[in-house]
Amino acid sequence: MVESRVMGYDASLSGRMELDTDGALVKRAREGDFGAFEKLFDRHRALVYRFAYQMTSRRDDAEDIVQEAFVRAYQNLHRYRDEAKFTTWLLRIVTNLCTDQARMSQRRSALEVQEAAGALDWMTCGEIADPVNNLEADRRKGALRKALNALPAHHRSVIVLRDIEERDYSDIGQILGCTVGGAKLRVLRARRALKDRITPLLGEDRP
């Protein structure tokens, strides 16, 4: 009796989990269940914001892109192919929005770039107890942020996808609409472009 209850509980739990997958939520949203789409929004909003912020370095722009991305996703659910991951399809929308935003925006001032708090914390080096290392870490982080923001949007997007979001090449290929080999080539070119930008910045203070 206890075993049957446990098995029944497991089956019930499994059924609820299946109803809560991205694919199941998309299907319900297509059928008019807006609550299902709200669950998708709550689940993936942080991912979209993080990606948009890394691309724009401006919180207001990132928030605008989050809102627009989910509006477009909702309006185009009929275009979503179930064999692709929902997050992959969603990030493709976000990438296009970021590219459009970059084309329309004028070059930001160096002060605005420096004030983009929180971006690229993954490059932080040094220890709190070591001010010399901290100064070097801040210099490297600032140089990297400046170099990344100076890249064209198509290079910056693949750096963010691969090196910050750590997406698989297959995901990047689907997001950018290219093959896995094409994704690897784009990442290679973007890394070379970033290196070309950052090398002179890191050498500015050196004798």
The CATH label, of 2.60.40.10, 1.20.120.430, 1.10.1740.10, 3.30.420.40, for the domain at 1-105 is 1.10.1740.10
Average of per-residue pLDDT across 179-191? 89
The CATH number that domain 112-207 falls under is: 1.10.10.10
Percentage of the chain exceeding pLDDT 90: 39
When the pLDDT of each residue in the chain is averaged and rounded to a whole number, the result is 79
Domain ranges of the chain: 1-105, 112-207
Per-residue pLDDT tens over the stretch 68-114? 999 999 999 998 988 789 999 999 999 999 988 877 764 444 434 44
Per-residue pLDDT tens over the stretch 127-171? 444 555 666 777 888 888 888 888 999 999 999 999 888 899 999
The pair of structure tokens assigned to 166 is 């750590």
